[in-house]
A and B are shown apart, each in its own frame.
Chain A
């Protein structure tokens, strides 16, 4: 029951929305498409759904070629960033709509709608119109509509992006449970790396129409093949700088000397690009293999028990994310420590080498 995209290309006029891409999604898997806006997530989903046709390449489902098949033939359901419901149907009728189109018996419809409504805690709202619901309830209704039919593929296109923080957290916890016992391929698009990490499953990182890497979420995060993947899969953005390795020493930011650390110790001497996740940069000196640098503080964001410090060093921005409250005044000089053991090294082609 797997879904396979073979050498899919999507061009619209002179613009290429998806460059040649192959992807194989396993049955009963939860797959995250991670990338910024315009990375091609929505286009890829619409290609999977059949709303758009690929310019070239083939799509196989259960080994059958479905490239030209219409949406209705593919048994997919989809949830969007906007809360899409039929405006003059009440919640019950909204959830029931795909089943009615399919011509299901009334008793069965009632049973299924009841079950979906219960799962999404919409029981008391069944008689209300979408306009009388909160954003969270509207999106729950849309999700219930996607769940109610036994879809082979469930596509969720940034379904939580338009919700406020609390509701987003709540639904984010519930979503994987809703899909856990389903015999379906779930594809979830998001711009937030943290969402991908929370959901687990597989992650495909996307950048400007390319899938840069696809694999189990944790390994995509820990062992990105290249700099781009690491950058896409990092929030706050990954810190990068050119380094020169000589023996047990790194030269960074022009003239600063850092110890090499575990990660880069086996590399041959030469020039590399180093990538350091913000949580490996801290104003506290607590790691083992430490590099340090003095930088100008651009802005400090303090959220509860965590501080994110943006600094300027050697014409680039380095970000530190650390526990505790570090209220550094804007424009002041700060000393930051880097856990080099956790750093990533990329070669001249931006491939991960260590």
Chain B
């Protein structure tokens, strides 16, 4: 005796989202999957290649070194940006007129388009006219990022720290201001020192925010393309050729669609796995 109204109108309301997601995520992804298991010589002629491209990529020296560089880059960037961002957030004022000044200044780097960031640092670091290069050379250090791998790495890391530390700082700041004043007072009454307040109140309270910050920064730095591409183009040699840059070289430079597709899927899996790993590790003690 159910008198439940049957009404399928709701499907029409979610349909636009389905179509959007299909066009901007599912269809391209499936195209890549499609390419990754086929061989083509152009003219829209495809032949079945099975897992051949995946084997190729996984055994390629070039992929290994690009992956290593990518991991090293993300590692360095995280090791600098997370503590630095946290440190900046701790020193930012909690109230008063300087709050908005700080917030606006902090968000400026985040508002600059990525290729502009690349160009800015490119010009800054150019050995003949760049301010940064002039200063470093003026200090007596030989610095030329177009020739020295170490200089190129230094410049890229510096650029990324400049560009993204604000994000970590802003996230941490949001976490910090959400800690009720009473915690600090309680710690004061207990006689806790600044370090103890940080270690036993601020850090535990910032756990979730820091997890988000690490995840965001890891994913972004692992996928970095535009800035590096503009700044060094992957050079000198292949010193700063990260996975994304290598991928574009294979896909658009050499037009090897099969290997490129296989590589992007492997790349995607690595990011997915590492993100899961980070999240699980950082949240491990939650239910313990």
Contacts and interface: CB of A to CB of B under 8 A. Distances in A.
Interface of A: 46, 49, 51, 71-72, 76-78, 80-82, 84, 86-89, 97-98, 101-102, 145
Given A76-B189, A101-B192, A89 B200 contact: yes
B202 to A, nearest CB: 10
Interface string B99-132: 0000000000000000000000000000000000
B180 A82 contact: yes
A49 B182 CA distance: 13
Given A82-B182, A84-B180, A84-B182, A71 B188 contact: yes
Contacts of A87: 201, 204-205
Interface residues of B, number: 15
Given A77-B189, A80-B182, A86-B201, 6 more contacts: A51-B185, A51-B188, A72-B189, A84-B186, A86-B200, A97-B190
Interface in B189-235: 189-192, 196, 200-201, 204-205
Interface in B164-194: 180, 182-183, 185-186, 188-192
Contacts of B192: 101
B204 A49 contact: no
A86 B185 CA distance: 12
13 contacts: A49-B185, A51-B185, A51-B188, A71-B189, A72-B188, A72-B189, A76-B189, A78-B185, A80-B186, A86-B200, A97-B190, A101-B190, A102-B191
B190 A98 contact: yes
B204 to A, nearest CB: 4
A184 to B, nearest CB: 14
Residue from B191, B200, B201 having most chain A Cβ neighbours under 10 A: B191
A101 B189 CA distance: 11
A46 to B, nearest CB: 7
A46 B205 contact: no
Contacts of B189: 49, 51, 71-72, 76-78
Interface string B66-89: 000000000000000000000000
Q: Is the interface of B mostly helix, strand, loop or mixed?
A: helix
Nearest to B190: A98
A199 to B, nearest CB: 22
Contacts of B201: 86-87
A80 B183 CA distance: 9
A235 B246 CA distance: 74
Contacts of A88: 200, 204
A14 to B, nearest CB: 15
A71 B196 CA distance: 16
Contacts of A49: 185, 189
Nearest to B185: A51
Contacts of A46: 185
Given A86-B200, A86-B201, A87-B204, A98 B191 contact: yes
Nearest to A52: B185
A17 B231 CA distance: 57
Closest 9 CB pairs of A and B: A72-B191, A80-B182, A88-B204, A87-B204, A84-B186, A101-B191, A71-B188, A98-B190, A78-B189
Contacts of A86: 200-201, 204
B76 to A, nearest CB: 29
Contacts of B186: 78, 80, 84
A22 to B, nearest CB: 24
Interface string B49-61: 0000000000000
Contacts of B182: 80-82, 84
A56 to B, nearest CB: 22
A3 B249 CA distance: 78
Nearest to B188: A71
B183 A84 contact: yes
Contacts of B188: 51, 71-72
Contacts of A51: 185, 188-189
Contacts of A82: 180, 182
A313 B186 CA distance: 48
A51 B192 CA distance: 13
